[in-house]
Amino acid sequence: MEPRNYAANADAVPPDAPATPSNGYPRAADPATGTEATTPGPFWFYKIGEELRAIITAAGITPDDADLNQVLDALTAGFGLAQQLAQPGYQMLPGGLILQWGTESLSFDTVFATSVITFPIAFPTANLNAFFSARNGTPIDAYFCITATDLASVTLAYRASAVTSASVYWMAIGY
């Protein structure tokens, strides 16, 4: 939804606020008494459109006339309703914190190797922490460490006494 697109007669600059606004609530016309209906005016439409546009852009969405679910998508993301409850998965929490998790099977043809684990979604601003634990079936002498993180992934280093495979649970926290 792009609230700045109109069928015809749009101005290049925003309208001015009314100098003497009518405060209160909208009312219907009453021809019997000569009461006129409330007139919203260009500034009212402008401020409502700009408020909706601000919600959309604050969620990182580019306004698009072809998508009529952008306000819903933005509100869903902002209220922590965006989620993928699967493996791998994520949950966006109110306030912007994002939890992500998954499992990863790792196969190595040497006793030391690295693997990049890609998150279901990239963190918009910061990857605060990532951690992991070995799953059943991982060799006892295997050890792991995180060697790099970025907004979209974590790099896991693996070492064991023999060429083998391993499996880990992982979790990342960011915003």
| pLDDT tens digits along 55-81 | 999 888 999 999 999 998 888 776 666
| pLDDT tens digits along 6-19 | 888 999 999 999 99
What pTM was estimated for this model as a whole? 0.56
| pLDDT tens digits along 99-118 | 999 998 877 777 788 889 99
Range(s) for CATH 2.60.40.3940 in the chain?
A: 83-174
Q: Would you identify the CATH topology of the domain 83-174?
A: Immunoglobulin-like (2.60.40)
Residue 139 has pLDDT above 70, yes or no: no
pLDDT band at 95 (very low <50, low <70, confident <90, very high): confident
Q: Give 44's contacts (C-beta < 8 A, 6+ positions apart).
A: none
Distances in whole angstroms, Cα of residue 4 to Cα of each of 51, 52, 53, 57: 12, 11, 9, 13
